[in-house]
Amino acid sequence: MSSLIGGGRGLGIGVLAGLLAGMLAGGIGGRLAMRVIAVVAGPSSTGVLTDNGNAVGDITTGGTLVLVVFSSVLNGVVGGLVYGAARPSLAPLGRARPLVFGLLILLVLGFTTIVAENRDFIRFGSPILNVALFAAIFVAFGALIVPLAEWLDRAVPRTDALRSGPAGIGLAVLVALSLLAGLLILALFIVTTAQTLAGVAAPGTGFGLTTSFVLLGLLGCAVLARLGSAFPWSRLPLAVPMLAGSWLTLRSIASILGLG
């Protein structure tokens, strides 16, 4: 029972740190990346509609909010659960952990943002620069989530939150809610994937089946790996969706750069 509580605490800390890191790196960093791309693309591209229907150079509150929510909820939660599961394995890396995890999460989740079918990577500015800017977002995510998770690990009480004062209680509640959010998103992916397989999902909604399976595998295996951390083999299944995500990311980057 104590291992389950400890595993749930570790996952909750990972998700909360991932939400915060995703909001900063993906939301703010993503908007900055788009601004740089618009500048490099030049005045002739100003006002041209992107594949998402947004005008180049037009920074709107709604667009920024969507970007922040997408980065926080999707990449933040998935990346947070992966970090929560992989954190014990990354501990021996010491100060290299932020960079290593940033590069790892770029490989595993990069395909959700660096999408070969999105023609904007080729239409505006330099494809190499565009890929590099969005790749840097994931590296920044890794640089942020590691110290955030370490701070939360020290601040969130391990046993009785009631004895740690209002701050400890508040953080413990936030961690518990974050874990619940991660599990709800896992359940949502299960339902959506099942509906897609059954042919009852609305056309054009959600991700493709391959993407859904990779994200579903990452979420499910990360939860199982952390809750079953007492078993040496518990993290092995996580390698399967991680390898699949890495293949999708590398294939997407190669397609954009004309390498494959």
The pLDDT value given to residue 207: 60
pLDDT (average), residues 240-248: 90
Express each pLDDT in 75-129 by its tens digit: 788 888 888 888 888 888 888 999 999 999 999 988 888 888 777 788 777 889 9
3-state secondary structure (DSSP) of residue 157: coil
pLDDT (average), residues 43-71: 58
Between CA 236 and CA 133 the distance in angstroms is 31
Per the model's pLDDT, the better-predicted residue between 20 and 187 turns out to be 20
Per the model's pLDDT, the better-predicted residue between 228 and 37 turns out to be 37
The pLDDT value given to residue 27: 77
Per the model's pLDDT, the better-predicted residue between 220 and 193 turns out to be 220
| CA–centroid distance for 240 within its chain | 17
Name residue 204's amino acid: G
The pLDDT value given to residue 161: 53
Lowest mean pLDDT among 48-57, 89-98, 183-192, 215-224: 48-57
Distances (CA, A) of 251 to 12, 35, 39, 114, 238: 32, 26, 27, 10, 20
3-state secondary structure (DSSP) of residue 259: coil
- Direct distance between the N- and C-terminal alpha carbons of the chain, in angstroms, rounded to an integer: 50
Q: Which of 249, 246, 27 is nearest to 116 (CA)?
A: 249
Q: Are the beta carbons of 227 and 93 closer than 8 angstroms?
A: no
For residue 55, what are the β-bridge partners? Answer: 49
Between CA 213 and CA 196 the distance in angstroms is 11
pLDDT (average), residues 142-160: 83
Between CA 198 and CA 71 the distance in angstroms is 28
Lowest mean pLDDT among 27-36, 69-78, 157-166: 157-166
Q: Are the beta carbons of 238 and 218 closer than 8 angstroms?
A: yes
Reply yes or no on whether the pLDDT at 1 is more than 50: no
- Exposure string (b/e) for 230-246, b if CB count within 10 Å is 16 or more? eeeebbebbeebbebbb
The pLDDT value given to residue 106: 93
Say what the pTM is. 0.79
pLDDT (average), residues 29-42: 79
Express each pLDDT in 158-206 by its tens digit: 665 545 556 566 666 667 777 677 777 777 767 766 766 666 555 445 5
Q: Are the beta carbons of 84 and 219 closer than 8 angstroms?
A: no
